[in-house]
Copies of this chain bind each other. A is one copy, B any other.
Amino acid sequence: MRAARLHGYDQRLQIDEVPTPELRGPHDVIVRIGGAGLCRTDLHIIEGIWQEKSGVQLPYTLGHENAGWVEAVGDAVTSVRAGDAVIVHPLITCGLCPACRSGEDMHCEHGRFPGITTDGGFAEYLLTGERALVRLAEGVEPAQVAPYADAGLTAYRAARKAAGLLRPGRWAVVLGIGGLGHLALQCLQHLSAARLIAVDPSPTARELARELGADHVVDGSDPVAAVRELTGGGAHVVVDLVGERGVQQQAVAMLRQGGTHVVVGYGDTLQVPTIDLIFSEISIVGSLVGSHTELSELMSLHAAGKLELRTRRYRLDDINQAIEDLQQGRIKGRAVLVP
C-alpha cells in the first residue's frame, strides 16, 4: 500500500510503497483509512521536537488522527466487525493498567501511539487495537470526522477541565481560534454557561469566532488589558491553544484571583514566580488528548448536530502541499488527507 513516511527530520515526507499491515494479536484491528487529519504535532515531529520523547526509528508513517472502516479483526475482538465505520482513538491501550482501569486510558502504561511511536494513518491501512475504536453513527462519513480523533478530542478534554470550573456569569478565554480553538470554543458553549472571550491575532480566526457565537472577540494587540477590562479583574479560566510566542505568559497574566490556566498548545517555556502562584492562588493545568470515553462523548455532541467542524481535504499524494499550507497559516479549520 502507499504511505507518507518521514525519512529524516526537517525533510519532506515521501510517498512510499510499503507492506499492508497484518493482524498479529487477538485484539488487533486493521482499519481502511477514510481520512487522516494533519496536526501541528506532525509539524513538530518533522522538526524533531518529539524525537527524544517518542524514541521512534525512521522511516515511519505519520498520521495520528484517523477514521475509516474496519477491514479485519483479530480472534478475540467482539465489539466491532468488518465494514463498521469507525473513528480511531489515537492510543492503543491495554485495558488492564491502573490508568485504563480508572477511565484515564490516555495515560495507559503500555500505550502505543500510531503516527507518533509506530506507523500511523497517512496511508491506505492502519493497524490499531479494538480498544481504540468508536463506531460512527449511521450516515457519518469517516473523512468528515477524522479531526475529532485528536484535535477535537484534545479540545474537548480541555473544555471539560475548564467547564468543571465555570458557572454562569464566570469568564473563560480561548487563546487561538484555529483547528483546536474553534472546537474548544464550541465545546465550552455546550458544557458551560460561562461568558466566552476569543482571542486571536488573525482577522480570519476572529471572524470564525464571531460566526461561532463568542461573547467577545479580542485581537492580539494587548489581549491581557482587553481581557482584564472586559472581565473586571481577570478570567476564571484561560484555555491556551498556543503555548508559545509569549502567549503562555499572557494566559497567566489574564487570570483572576483563584483562576486556572489550561495549557494545550506547546512550544515555549512557561515562567511563573512562585509568589504569584501563591498570592493569586492560580493553577496551571496541562491537558493532553482525551480518553476513549471522552471521544464517545464528543461523537455524541457531533451526532446531535451541536458542532461545526471546518475541514479541507487533500489527496494523500499532496501531503507536502498540505504541510506547507498548514505552516503558512493558509488552512481555515483542519486539513484531512484522503488516500
Residue of B nearest to A295 (CB): B101
Residues from chain B with Cβ under 8 Å of A168 in the complex: 190-191, 297-298, 300-301, 304
A286 at interface, CB cutoff 8 A: yes
B283–A274 contact, CB under 8 A? Answer: no
Q: How far is the CA of A264 from the CA of B270 in the complex (A)?
A: 18
B296–A98 contact, CB under 8 A? Answer: yes
Q: How far is the CA of A53 from the CA of B280 in the complex (A)?
A: 11
Q: How far is the CA of A332 from the CA of B103 in the complex (A)?
A: 38
CB distance from A143 to the nearest CB of B (A): 22
- List A14-58 residues whose CB lies under 8 Å from chain B: 25-27, 49, 53
The listed residue (B94, B244, B282, B300) touching A169 by CB distance below 8 A is B300
Residues from chain B with Cβ under 8 Å of A84 in the complex: none
B267–A275 contact, CB under 8 A? Answer: yes
Q: How far is the CA of A26 from the CA of B304 in the complex (A)?
A: 38
Interface segment, one of A62-70, A75-83, A201-209, A220-228: A75-83
Residues from chain B with Cβ under 8 Å of A130 in the complex: 96
Residues from chain B with Cβ under 8 Å of A269 in the complex: 271-274
A277–B283 contact, CB under 8 A? Answer: no
B271–A270 contact, CB under 8 A? Answer: yes
Residues from chain B with Cβ under 8 Å of A192 in the complex: 191
A195–B79 contact, CB under 8 A? Answer: no
Residues from chain B with Cβ under 8 Å of A94 in the complex: 78
B190–A27 contact, CB under 8 A? Answer: no
**Contacts A76-B26, A168-B190, A272-B270; is A288 near B296 (CB within 8 Å)?**
no
8 A-B residue contacts at CB 8 Å? A98-B296, A101-B292, A101-B293, A169-B301, A191-B192, A243-B278, A270-B274, A283-B283
The chain A residues found within 8 Å of chain B, CB to CB, are: 25-27, 49, 53, 75-76, 78-79, 94-96, 98-99, 101-107, 130-131, 167-169, 190-193, 195, 243-244, 248, 257-258, 263-288, 291-293, 296-298, 300-301, 304, 306
